[in-house]
Amino acid sequence: PELVGGVFYGTNLLTKEAGSLTIQNSGIPIALIAGELDTIVLPEFTQRTYDNIADSPKAFIQIKGINHYGITDVSQPKDGPEEENKPQLKQTESVKMIAEWSALFLQAYVLKQQASLDCLSQYQNFSNEQMSVICEG
User: What pLDDT tens digit does each residue of the chain (137 aa) get?
Assistant: 799 999 999 998 876 665 668 899 999 999 999 999 999 999 999 999 999 999 999 999 999 999 999 999 999 999 999 999 999 999 999 999 999 999 999 999 999 999 999 999 988 889 999 999 999 98
The reported pTM is 0.93
Local structure of 131: helix, strand or coil = strand
Determine the structural domain holding residue 97 and report its residue range.
Answer: 6-136
Residue 1 lies in a domain: no
| Predicted pLDDT at 17 | 62
Amino acid at the residue 118: D
| Predicted pLDDT at 36 | 98
Residue 89 lies in a domain: yes
Residue 15 lies in a domain: yes
Q: What are phi and psi of 95, to 5 degrees?
A: -60, -40
Q: What are phi and psi of 62, to 5 degrees?
A: -115, 120
Structurally, the chain folds into a number of domains equal to 1
> CB–CB of 70/91 below 8 Å?
yes
Residue 31 lies in a domain: yes
